[in-house]
Structure 1
């Protein structure tokens, strides 16, 4: 049958005829339990199917557009950023007049204007600002983030929403598929996570590199030639020595005070060696390890992710199993890899206690600093079993932070912590995170 011979059902916009074909026809690649049904298209056009898009950057804008043009009408979008001039070259939902406004709000307005019947609810804020019940309402979550920490936080939220039956098996209706997309230049990935069925993001956290290939230290120290060399010198060598509390406070690429301090020091060094002085944008890009985005890569990865969303909602085709890597560096290549779960995963597994080695004279603040630097935590809260009773050592929550602040300067011995003491740690910044168990090892031999 010719394409133009297929007519849409009465009252249905002709623009959806291609989508309807996927749901109303059987095919050799269809899922084993899929039954073509005209009502499936009506289902995805209903308010009952709610989808959350996380991130409104270059990839998030593509995802939002693709979802709207796939027939979904009830979308939510969450993003904490406002529009900057540098966004306009790849985040096509924004215009110069939108600079300074929240990305989520502007993107929602744009899509609603262009795709009739589609409603996009914007949420301007952080992931952790929303309660767990907010995430429970969605049938699928798709994210296009440039932050590993935000990915891990979202992964923990999704895994924490899973409910179990009397046999400790996940209840299928409580499992919210998480579709994760990411791009770096001409490379990208699409990944499908079904909590407790496929590996979660934490199972293979090493796939999400948070660093870029660095410059040789000898070049930074003796023969800098680029503005980037001066920025890295200020970040790596000057920050720990000269910034107040530099060794305790890591550089935050989203903090304008941190970035401006590094830019100022980098400019001084650039003038010393006759190098072009870096501006704020370049400095932040180096500090945050930002790789320039490529619009075509965003389009490809978005198409992959939204296809997986469509399959997860309708069941018309099997889901990706479960990680696809895309590269367009030397020709186009896509590899699908079935990643495996980590039985000792901190989020979806049952890991054994991890060792924490300190001296009894070390302070609780030292322990917290290591939890941040080596275990990826942002705002760790600690409890311990001391002399047979549970003791709260520190809680990084607004209503308890001041009450327990004195403990930060106390030594482990003063707090009554001995070798083999079990510490239960949660991250107050990561909603729904399961406690991570550590066993304290004191090198000076103070044992329980």
Structure 2
């Protein structure tokens, strides 16, 4: 029985079409594991190019690959390991409009392999290990957060299973998201990035090393080496200045342009580190190494190759279960190294959807429109009338649906009707509908209401096959 199950799982993997988003630290490991585990049809998309700093943890790349697109180099390396795999690399931004619902519908499974940990689970780890929230999150983390939200929305609208992964240092997580079965990425609130600090705290009452680094990087460095526009006319007394001949000579040679802080500029980094540690000592704050200050100044979350490998292996295991029809056996899995508990891996059941979530509890419909003839008002009126019909017949939804089917089947095609609902899904009540444009169609986005009366949005489900040609 077990052998037969293994054969069926192998066939499922071979036939499945997988979309992988990201080919960085986690992505390289996921792509390699997918191909060597029997997945034959893989599309991987990533916008980045290979840098020297990637080579210590992204083992599909070599020094000769520096400057090349990550997806192309990763696909070429994996094809050497698994020549019979069909890997399609795309160097692009997944948020570009050509990657719409029609494009997503070509796949059976989506895997998010973005390097940074999902924000919610990052908070869970910090609370679990340190009983406090992280003091600072990098801009790249929030950039990837935006991408995760977009992919989550597209998977919800196209009813595709999504495997989320993420790592941050010695912590990692992976989970499975399926519309109507599990909570989605937006079911729980996310934190807001703290981009600025109060000036009085930075200048007068620093309480953490981060405050001291911000002071040294954004204030002192600019006062000494920045251009005239970035300097302040009144400098508070008592600020120490380092006589760094190298920076001074560079500043003189730059003239009016001045210097800008760069974490990869060794002279600038050492100046900021020394200044921050001196200021920290004055206020009784523990000093840190150059490496730690570089991470703070550059908003760097360290990436560990071992963490990436562990999470990638778990994610592909989840993928095999999903394509084999064993979604109920999937778990949310956390990897936490260095905690007080002896085990490294923790798992919990997949949580059910949040009934108040505006993403996974929304109605999604794909429309076909004639942009040359239809006006926006006509679309709004048609949708409003359609939702009003659902509301007025909510107690007789079955008979309404049957009469709608019959009217469509028995009626001749009407050339004057220029748009129609071609498919849709609705797991529960939504909080409003809005149209968002894609190249060939529109899809509903619940983020801002289109219909003035929220009560127009009622629980309803359209069978995408039976309603494929319904005219409104």
Please confirm whether the aligned pair reaches a TM-score higher than 0.5, indicating the same fold.
Answer: yes
- Contact 1:425 1:436 (C-alpha < 8 Å) held by counterparts: yes
Aligned to 1:221: 203
Matched, 1:134 2:103: yes
Q: Measure the CA separation in 2 of the matches of 1:389 and 1:235.
A: 53
Pairwise CA RMSD: 4.5
Aligned to 1:347: 359
Deviation at 1:86, TM superposition (A): 0.8
Q: Secondary structure at the match of 2:84?
A: coil
Matches within 5 A, 1:319-398: 319-321=329-331, 323-330=332-339, 331=342, 332-350=344-362
> TM-score, normalization: structure 1?
0.56
Matched, 1:182 2:171: no
Q: Measure the CA separation in 2 of the matches of 1:312 and 1:301.
A: 16
- Contact 1:183 1:297 (C-alpha < 8 Å) held by counterparts: yes
With over 3 angstroms needed to count, the CA separation of the structure-2 counterparts of 1:120 and 1:235, relative to structure 1, is: farther
**Larger helix fraction of residues:** 2
With over 3 angstroms needed to count, the CA separation of the structure-2 counterparts of 1:295 and 1:282, relative to structure 1, is: same
Matched, 1:153 2:155: no
Q: Secondary structure at the match of 1:108?
A: helix
- Contact 1:73 1:117 (C-alpha < 8 Å) held by counterparts: yes
Matches within 5 A, 1:313-324: 313-315=323-325, 318-321=328-331, 323-324=332-333
Deviations 1:136-159 (A, max 9, x none): 111111112131111000000111
> TM-score, normalization: structure 2?
0.54
Matches within 5 A, 1:42-441: 42-45=11-14, 48-129=15-96, 130-145=99-114, 146=116, 147-161=144-158, 175-206=159-190, 211=193, 220-222=202-204, 229-231=212-214, 263=262, 267=268, 270=271, 274=275, 286=296, 289-315=299-325, 318-321=328-331, 323-330=332-339, 331=342, 332-350=344-362, 434-437=445-448
Q: Secondary structure at the match of 2:58?
A: coil
Q: Measure the CA separation in 2 of the matches of 1:269 and 1:95.
A: 29
Matches within 5 A, 1:13-24: none
- Contact 2:13 2:40 (C-alpha < 8 Å) held by counterparts: yes
Which 5+ residue runs of structure 2 have no aligned equivalent? 117-143, 223-228, 231-258, 278-290, 364-375, 383-430, 451-472
Aligned to 1:394: none
Deviation at 1:325, TM superposition (A): 2.0
Q: Which has the larger radius of gyration?
A: 2
Deviation at 1:42, TM superposition (A): 3.7
Which 5+ residue runs of structure 1 have no aligned equivalent? 1-23, 27-34, 162-174, 244-259, 352-383, 391-421, 440-448
Deviation at 1:107, TM superposition (A): 0.4
With over 3 angstroms needed to count, the CA separation of the structure-2 counterparts of 1:119 and 1:213, relative to structure 1, is: same
Q: Measure the CA separation in 1 of the matches of 2:187 and 2:196.
A: 26
With over 3 angstroms needed to count, the CA separation of the structure-2 counterparts of 1:433 and 1:125, relative to structure 1, is: farther
**Length, aligned pairs only:** 302
